[in-house]
A and B are shown apart, each in its own frame.
Chain A
Amino acid sequence: MNGPHDLGGMHGLGAIPIEENEPVFHSEWEAKVFAMSFATFSTFFPVDETRHAAEQIPASEYLSSSYYERWLAALELLLAKHDWLTTAEIEARMAQLRQTEE
């Protein structure tokens, strides 16, 4: 797939920021996304299918998403594709969590 992930040779994307003492995760939600995705590797989804799922994020969204935002989008896509969860169920749960926070 000629998707937005295949950046080799592209111009205009700016320098790669290199952080000093870069932490493994920048916030707690990233660690949770990693754990959820990791738990599905090979048990629920072959890893290559996970990579392919990330590439199917719409190009403009892909390029403006952070690394773990892409992981989350890929996981949601595969959960819906293989009928483990529907997008509506994910949305409903998000709305519920938002209300709890308020």
Chain B
Amino acid sequence: MTIKTSNRCMTAAAAKALLQEGLSCQADSDCTPQFQVGDLVRAKVMHPKTYTRLPRYVRGKVGTVMHDHGGYVFPDTVGERLSTKPQHVYSVRFSAQALWGEAAPASDALYLDLFDDHLEVP
């Protein structure tokens, strides 16, 4: 376990600020994106018993990188207190038919925010 917390009580002022501004999960340092807007990507097939933000129904499916949100800490490792493992997050477009088959409307699509570690070259 390498991620330590302050274990100090939150002040009322800090609580108010957190409610108003939210919590930023942006990475402090620059990290190199593994993919570019327009790239085809495949969500990795994986079944970790640990924390992951990669939904089951998208694993193994191919989508398109539509937007690069920038560098963020990686929830899958932060959730285990292992490391912040900063990496890029993308909005990835999956057609509804790629996810649910040809009975799904042809023009529907789902946009998922996924991290570098969730994706591979198809």
Task: Name A's interface SS.
Answer: loop
Q: Which of B5, B55, B57, B78 contacts A43 (CB 8 A)?
A: B5
Query: In the complex, which residues 1-44 of chain A have their Cβ closer than 8 Å to any Cβ of chain B?
Result: 1-2, 6, 8-9, 38-44
Q: Is the CB of B121 closer than 8 A to any CB of chain A?
A: no
Instruction: Assign chain A's interface to a size class.
Output: 20 to 34
A-side contacts of B56, CB under 8 Å:
2, 6, 8-9
**Inter-chain contact B23/A6, CB cutoff 8 Å:** no
Interface residues of B (CB under 8 A from A): 3, 5-10, 15, 18-19, 23, 47-52, 55-58, 75-76, 78-81, 99-100
Residues of A within 8 A of B (CB): 1-2, 6, 8-9, 38-49, 51-52, 55
